[in-house]
Structure 1
Amino acid sequence: MTFRHVAILTSFLFLVLAVAWMFFPEQMLTQWGGAGLVSRRGAVFYLGVAVMFFMARNTEHSAARMALIQGMITICTVLILLGVYELSVGHASDKILAAVLIEAILGLAFIYAWRTSGKKHKIINHSRIQK
């Protein structure tokens, strides 16, 4: 199997899991065995994202770096919306706003990186053309 095939399969499977967890959380929690187990599994995702970004920290402008940036913008945006929604319907306390603030700052930082990354890349390409 090529990376392309694994990437497509992973995208599909994770999308299915995301939809299941988003719209049927009680059933998923019951099926998987409780909040502690799910929390620990969620922690592994945070660890994986931390490792990916640490390993990619010096990556030059590329489609892969842009995919990481756009993925984090998506994550932060959905987490912000979900946090505000859960607060507004009473499923979360106002302490969720600390997480929402961190997600907003991180999301804005990635938006800034996305916007400036493209500009720097165009300037570099333009200077190469003139030489």
Structure 2
Amino acid sequence: MTFQVIALIMTCAGCLLGLRFIFAGASVLKEWGIQETAGSLVVSRRIGAIYLGLALMFFLGRAAAPSDLRSAVCLVAGGAIALLACLGLFEFLARRVSAGVFRSVVAEAVLAAGFVWVWWGGR
């Protein structure tokens, strides 16, 4: 896998997640077994904006040559996404979310592994 491929995957995932969190945040909350409240929807929309920003960053940087900055982006993105997967498992074990969170956890684990793979190979 190359940086360009993982950047395009992140672009697509970021756009899909961003739009879903902004326009259909209640469906994400329902999938995870979290009650829809005004506060949770505000947070969902704000998270959506972050995902859209990440999608744009990876789209614009998809052709970046190997560099210290590109390596740092891969390592940080992989670590942050792995943390999301771990937090999903933690919240499930604490019974704060339903098993619906596992779709997100698996996708996050695969994406994190992709970023670490590119980081490891691009050094």
- TM-score by structure 2 length? 0.67
2:76 is the alignment partner of 1:94: no
Structure richer in helix, relative to its length = 1
Query: How many pairs align?
Result: 86
The residue aligned with 2:83 is 78
Deviation, 1:67, is 1.7
Q: Say whether the 8 Å CA contact 2:78–2:114 is kept in structure 1.
A: no
Partner of 1:52: 57
Shift, 1:74, TM fit: 1.5
Aligned residue type for 1:56? G
Moved over 3 A (4+): none
C-alpha contact (below 8 Å) 2:89/2:105 kept by paired residues: yes
Q: Quote the RMSD (CA, aligned, Å).
A: 1.1
State how far apart, in whole Å, the 2-side matches of 1:53 and 1:71 are.
Answer: 13
- Find the aligned partners of 2:80 and 2:102 in 1 and give their Cα distance: 16
Matches within 5 A, 1:1-131: 34-118=39-123
User: 1:70 deviation in Å?
Assistant: 1.3
Higher Rg of the two aligned structures: 1
Three-state SS of the structure 2 residue aligned to 1:70 is helix
- Note the alpha carbon deviations across 1:4-34, whole angstroms, 9 max, x for none: xxxxxxxxxxxxxxxxxxxxxxxxxxxxx71
Q: Aligned partners of 2:109 and 2:46: how far apart in 1?
A: 24
Q: Secondary structure at the match of 2:65?
A: coil
User: Percent identity, aligned pairs only?
Assistant: 31
| 2-structure distance, mates of 1:108, 1:74 | 9
Q: What is the identity, as a one-letter code, of the residue corresponding to 2:112?
A: G
* Match of residue 25 from structure 1: none
Q: Displacement of 1:78 after TM fit?
A: 0.8
Higher relative contact order (CA 8 A, sep 6+): 2
